[in-house]
Amino acid sequence: MTFLRRMRQLLSVRRHPVAVVTGSVVVVFCAAVLLGDLAGHAPLLRTARGVVPEWFALCFVAQIVAYLGYVFAWRETARVDDGPRLDFRHAANVVAAGFGAFFSASAAGGFEVDYWALRHAGASRREALKRVFGLGTLEYAVLAPAAMFSAIAILADASDNVRPSMSWPWLAVFPGAAFAVWASQPQRARRWERVDHDSGRVRSAFGHFVAGLSVVRRLVEQPRAHGLAFVGAAMYWFGEILCLWAALMAFGAQVRIPVLIVGFATGYVLTRRSLPAGGAGVAEVALVFALVWLHVAFAPALLGVFAYRFFNFWLALLPAFAARGTMRTIRPETSVGGGNVRPRQAA
């Protein structure tokens, strides 16, 4: 089975939104119970009593910053190299739908929404997939270097007792960036993008990966035209990390910035848009253990992460529900494999 065929299967999987939300509640509840047993009920109650709710206002503002940033990044990635040009409102609706569990229910996660929005805006199947991969690459082109420099700061601090095993892997970002520059050179990238999809799953997957790299390269090469893509991605991650920091502060967890960034990047390797149902349960467990491994106390880490996910995930249901009209417009009449999608240029 080729990579593209696998993508077609993933993009055609749909589940009922209410079932997804209900299932997400059950999974998160089970994760909370298991983590609560590990943290201990007494420390959790003691930490909860000392909550400073004023920090939650900052969480809300931070999520607005993250949303706006992602809209900027999404629009610029869509329109690079004469791609679809979408107005801000339409792009905001697409992003809201992708962030919400209602429409992130497929096995492809929120990136399914991106794909169909691009197809509806007039992009070919290949160009839509290329920009979806490019958007995912853009996210980590911003977050990964921040995590690498934070890891270096942690390792350079001799007085820090943070476990180095969490920091060393992020040093691989530098050779990874060098490989990305090499692989995305125009002639080489064009050869890989033209790889026959029947030539094998690995080669096909690598071809799509290189296509995503080439999108980011084009954004870098045109800073005046598309610099807002990187500004938007930086705003997105800044808002997310600020929201987590404020949630931790609400429960008295004093976390240094390098530790916060490495913990966030490690526990949030897959974003809510790339995981089915926004990564409900998975993201909570991964983030809590990443912070605890970096010597954040278990009880405030657990409560802070779940507070963060309330703003990051559950509140996202509201704008996603408001964007349901946009999703009815761009949702295909048949699956990807059916070939009956009728794309048109969005306003």
List the structure tokens of 52.
Answer: 């400073």
pLDDT (average), residues 290-304 = 92
Q: How confident is the model at residue 12 (pLDDT cuts 50, 70, 90)?
A: very low
List the structure tokens of 60.
Answer: 């809300």
Region of poorest pLDDT, from 17-21, 95-99, 110-114: 17-21
Chain segment 44-78, per-residue pLDDT in tens: 999 999 999 999 999 999 999 999 999 999 999 99
* pLDDT, mean over the chain: 81
Distances (CA, A) of 282 to 179, 273, 287: 30, 13, 9
Q: Give the pLDDT of residue 342.
A: 41
Contact present, 279 and 82 (Cβ < 8 Å): no
Chain segment 212-231, per-residue pLDDT in tens: 899 999 999 988 888 999 99
Contact present, 153 and 170 (Cβ < 8 Å): no
User: 3-state DSSP call for residue 157?
Assistant: coil
Dihedral of alpha carbons 173, 175, 181, 184, sign: negative
Contact present, 39 and 298 (Cβ < 8 Å): yes
Please give the residue that has the higher pLDDT: either 278 or 95: 95
Region of poorest pLDDT, from 171-175, 220-224, 321-325: 321-325
Q: Give the pLDDT of residue 110.
A: 67
User: 3-state DSSP call for residue 295?
Assistant: coil
Q: Percent helix, strand and coil across the chain, each rounded to 5?
A: 75, 0, 25
pLDDT (average), residues 29-38 = 88
Say how many C-beta atoms besides its own lie within 10 A of residue 88's C-beta: 11
Q: Give the pLDDT of residue 217.
A: 92
DSSP 106: S
Q: How confident is the model at residue 120 (pLDDT cuts 50, 70, 90)?
A: confident
Report percent pLDDT > 90 for the chain.
33
Distance from first CA to last CA of the chain, Å, rounded? 36
List the structure tokens of 234.
Answer: 């930086």
To the nearest 10°, report the CA torsion of 265, 266, 271, 276: -170
Contact present, 24 and 281 (Cβ < 8 Å): yes
Please give the residue that has the higher pLDDT: either 178 or 328: 178
Distance of CA 47 to the CA centre of its chain: 29
Region of poorest pLDDT, from 18-32, 100-114, 124-138, 297-311: 100-114
Which H or E element spans position 84? none
Contact present, 50 and 251 (Cβ < 8 Å): yes
Q: Give the pLDDT of residue 173.
A: 92
Q: Is the pLDDT of residue 186 over 60?
A: yes
